[in-house]
Amino acid sequence: MTPLDKVEGRAIPFGLKNVDTDVIIPAHWLKTTTREGMGRGAFESLRADPDNLFDSADFKGAPILIAGDNFGCGSSREHAAWALGDLGIRVVIAPSYSDIFSGNAVKNGILPVVLPQSAIDRLMEVAATDPVFVDLEHQTVTTQFQDRFSFEIDPFRKMCLLEGLDEISLTEKSDAAIGAYEKALDADRPWMRPAA
Amino acid sequence: MTRPRTLYEKIWDAHVVEQRPDATCLIFIDRHLVHEVTSPQAFAGLRATGRTVRRPDLTLAVPDHNVPTTARLDAAGGRLPIADAESAAQLAALEKNAPEFGIRYIDAVAPEQGIVHVVGPEQGFSLPGTTIVCGDSHTACHGGIGALAFGIGTSEVEHVLATQTLLLQPSKTMEVRVEGEVGPGVSAKDIILHITGVIGAAGGTGHVIEYTGSAIRALSVEGRLTVSNMAIEGGARAGLIAPDETTFAYIKGRPYAPKGADWDAAVAYWKSLATDPGATYDKTVVIDAADIAPSVTWGTSPEDVVPITGIVPDPASFADPSKQAAAAKSLAYMGLEPGTRMQDVPVENIFIGSCTNSRIEDLRAAAAVIKGRHKADNVKWAIVVPGSGLVKAQAEAEGLDRIFTDAGLEWREPGCSACLAMNPDKVPAGERCASTSNRNFVGRQGPGARTHLVSPAMAAAAAVTGKLTDVRELMA
Ligand code: SF4
């Protein structure tokens, strides 16, 4: 996974609330057996409009997306994160996310920044014409107009993103603990194993 | 004395393998359900890194999303080919990956095949007090039997396959208490639609919802699975209903369920899981069951719920400006005018199925309404899709299939079908569907399709009249 620290550039002032995963990547794009090339399907229904934000001269390839409340709600499909990543997005800024989406985003090297609506409103304004700066190490979003918004992030997620860590390798370090749990479970609640 | 704990906290505590310095925990996963859509990239990941499946015995794979619901075998018992190349590739990948990694596999033509969330409880693979994951957000369904069950993404599928654990942060707890008795014609689906309307599509974000109260306890296991299925539509990670005698009676004797002395030990353990007196939730919402009417959605978010006796709302009636804008957009997509009576909205398509409403009780409820009647002429397409081969066989033994086909509805093979536009069952653009599924999102049932979420009895009523209908008017 590509490590992520500072991301700066144009931010797509999208701003919609309750953007669900069917909007981010329609279901027919789920019929793949690989992860690549999904960006072509990202926001497909919106991009059917030739004047859409995502393909405009200003925002094509922009690394940051600004959205409204409850971004990524709906299905658990990780394809949504793959599609955003393939579109070139490294950071999403929104007041809230669906739990599954924010987990999927981090696992795919995308930073979900949570900021209050007032900050989103201001960033939407700036993003229309100017770049936005995101600094994960210092947990800030800034603009060239002296705006400075701090955000919270779970320290583990932060470390994974900063170092580009793969979660499975990390968990494999706990192999002994998992083995001990399994042994204790078999002793305490042997019926937990499927009977057949 | 230990601190009083909720059902959620007890299940969580029993599954902590390790706690990280922050609140994150490595959580053991008791059951992993796998289907063809969200698994190919996970298996590819294992292969690329030379990893194996840690606990194949705790993993069960079954194809459901992509399988066509038309006949799968020809007259001679040979397999019919799947027309869509991408669907065929995903199904073939699962068929190859399951034996290669040694996991339990129910084939597309096996009698037990069905929607993963119907199959899990039906096989006794899903048990109370277990942690269950699946690469599908409606995994919350299994909360209906008291399992902590939630949807995961493909990276997590790979993580669980490799380690049988997940790194998770504890959720907040929310109690949704439904007290009292529901009126006639009001089903579990109406209860959860009503709840979603009350708490909103983001009302449960960050929480696990425990559904409590006399109206929930009175539900069958099928009904509880319907309620918990849609926990995610209220934004929650998972839903839970405390296991009780109803649950135990449902599970007993199922193929993977504990047997003999194990059964008694299991029941004793499950009984200990109920939320302790004095335990507190982070949030509680109380709903009077008497307020719940047969319900229907008007928009493109599952929170857009009104009683069937209601009208299409005016976007200006919402306080929140962004909800006003969303409602106006929804109405444009849905082709509806504010003020229209819901009962005057014609429907051309009927879908009875999905992991929300495709169990035997759902089919019985729909059949009871449609029996001796016929679908309206303006209804072009009406399909009934049982949730599994076993549900299908049971329904056929009860003669339900004949009731549907005599009424002009199609009787299909089990699968996800028109719940999502991935397989050949789609609703045409611009047309409406009275659907027993769980999502009315834009394009969910096909590009441009307009979905109205309803209960099975309400879908059957709409089939008969050709418009959204108060099922109570068709009940004797
Ligand atoms: S029926 Fe629908 S919601 Fe249920 S598992 Fe299938 S696609 Fe998902």
B159-209: pLDDT as tens digits: 999 999 999 999 999 999 999 999 999 999 999 999 999 999 999 999 999
Average pLDDT over every residue of A8-22: 94
Collect all residues with Cβ–Cβ distance below 8 Å to B313 and sequence separation of at least 6. B298, B306, B327, B338
CATH class of residue range B172-242+270-291: alpha beta
Confidence class of residue B237 from pLDDT cuts 50, 70 and 90? very high
- A176 — contact with chain B (CB < 8 Å)? no
All CATH 3.30.499.10 domain ranges of chain B, comma separated, are 7-168, 297-470
**Residues in chain A within 8 Å Cβ distance of B420:** 27
Reported pTM = 0.88
Residue type, B418: A
Q: What is the mean pLDDT of residues A122-127?
A: 97
pLDDT-based confidence at residue B1 (cuts at 50, 70, 90):
low
Spatial separation of the C-alpha atoms in residues A149 and A146, rounded to whole Å: 10
Strands (E), B180-312: 207-212, 238-240, 283-288, 295-297, 305-307
Is the pLDDT confidence value at B47 over 70? yes
Task: Give the count of beta carbons closer than 10 Å to the beta carbon of residue A8.
Answer: 14
Residue B133 CA to ligand 1 centre (angstroms): 14
Give the pLDDT of residue B447: 92
Which residues of chain A lie closer than 8 angstroms to B158, CB-CB?
168
Please tell me the residue having the least CA distance from ligand 1 atom 4: B355
For the residues A54-62, what does the mean pLDDT come to? 96
Beta strands in B219-376 (DSSP E): 238-240, 283-288, 295-297, 305-307, 349-352
Nearest to B466 by CA among B347, B298, B366, B334: B347
φ, ψ at B367 (rounded to 5°): -65, -35
What does the angle CA B214 – CA B216 – CA B221 come to, to the nearest 5 degrees? 135
| Total number of residues shown for chain A | 196
Percent of chain B with pLDDT over 90: 92
Q: What is the CA radius of gyration of chain B?
A: 22
Q: Are A93 and A64 in contact (CB under 8 A)?
A: yes
Nearest chain B residue to A72, by CA: B235
d(CA A1, CA B456): 46
Confidence band (pLDDT; 50, 70, 90) for B20?
A: confident
pLDDT at B103: 97
- What pLDDT does residue B263 have? 98
Of B236, B231, B241, B230, the C-alpha closest to B419 is B230
The pLDDT value given to residue A99: 85
CB pairs under 8 A between A and B: 182
Backbone angles phi, psi at B313, to 5 degrees: -70, 155
- Distance from C-alpha of B415 to C-alpha of A186, rounded to nearest angstrom: 34
Distance CA B469, CA B346 (A): 9
Give chain A positions within 8 Å (CB) of B444. Answer: 22, 27
Question: How far is ligand 1, taken at its centre, from the CA of residue B355, in Å?
Answer: 6
Is the confidence at residue B108, as pLDDT, over 70? yes
Specify the ligand 1 atom closest to the Cα of B116.
5
Mean pLDDT for the stretch of residues B102-118? 97
A32 touches B at CB < 8 Å? yes
Contact between B472 and B184 under an 8 Å Cβ cutoff? The reply is yes
Cα four-point dihedral sign B433, B438, B444, B450:
positive
Query: In ligand 1, which atom is closest to the CA atom of B417?
Result: 1
Q: Please judge whether B89 and A155 are an interchain contact, meaning their C-beta atoms are less than 8 angstroms apart.
A: no
DSSP A47: H
How many whole angstroms from B473 Cα to the centroid of ligand 1? 30
Of all residues in chain A, the percent with pLDDT exceeding 70 is 100
Q: What is the mean pLDDT of residues A174-195?
A: 96
Task: Write down the mean pLDDT value for chain B.
Answer: 96
Please tell me the distance from the alpha carbon of residue A138 to that of residue B265, in angstroms, as a whole number.
52
Which residues of A fall within a CB distance of 8 Å from B135?
76, 78
What is the four-CA torsion angle of B46, B52, B56, B58, rounded to 10 degrees? -70
Q: Nearest residue of B to residue A176 by CA position?
A: B17
Pocket perturbation via mutation, ligand 1, pick of B35, B64, B132 by most ligand atoms within 8 A of CB: B64
B7-168 belongs to which CATH class?
alpha beta
| Percentage with pLDDT > 90 across chain A | 80
* Interface contact flag, B265 A191, Cβ < 8 Å: yes
The rounded Å distance from CA B421 to ligand 1 centre is 11
pLDDT band of B409, cuts 50, 70, 90 = very high
pLDDT given at position A156: 84
- Which of B34, B37, B132, B168 has the highest number of chain A CBs within 10 A, making it the mutation to test binding with A? B37
In sequence order, the 6+-apart residues with CB closer than 8 A to the CB of B55 are A182, B32, B164
Report in angstroms the alpha-carbon separations of B193 from A146, B302, B348, B386: 46, 7, 22, 21
A77/B159 Cβ within 8 A? no
Query: Which of A25-39, A92-106, B389-403: highest mean pLDDT?
Result: B389-403
Nearest to A122 by CA among B457, B133, A130: A130
CB contact under 8 A, A178 and B84: no
DSSP class of residue A93 equals E
Token representation of residue B433: 């569907």
User: Which ranges of B38-185 does DSSP label H, i.e. alpha helix?
Assistant: 40-49, 85-100, 116-122, 154-163
Beta carbon of B139 within 6 Å of any ligand 1 atom: no
Q: Whose Cα sits closest to atom 6 in ligand 1?
A: B416
Q: Which residue shows structure tokens 């009249």?
A: B465
Question: Which range, A16-25, A165-174, B238-247, has the best average confidence (pLDDT)?
Answer: B238-247
Spell out where A23-139 has E strands: 64-66, 91-94, 111-114, 132-135
Question: Distance (Å) from the C-alpha of residue A51 to the closest C-alpha of chain B?
Answer: 18
Residue A179 has pLDDT above 90, yes or no: yes
**Mean per-residue pLDDT over chain A, rounded:** 93
pLDDT confidence of residue A76? 74
Query: Domain B297-470's class?
Result: alpha beta
How many angstroms separate the alpha carbon of residue A171 from the centre of ligand 1?
30
Cβ-contact B227, A98 below 8 angstroms:
no
Higher pLDDT, A195 or A125: A125
Mean pLDDT across the stretch B287-298?
Answer: 98
Could you tell me the domains of chain A? 6-165 (3.20.19.10)
Nearest to B303 by CA among B230, B362, B353, B222: B230
CB-based contacts of A45, cutoff 8 Å, min separation 6: A23, A26, B442, B443, B447
Contacts of B169 in chain A (CB under 8 A): 154
Tracing tokens 């009934």 back to the chain, one arrives at B384
Q: Give yes or no for A135 touching B (CB within 8 A).
A: no
* Alpha-carbon gap, residue B401 to B393, rounded angstroms: 10
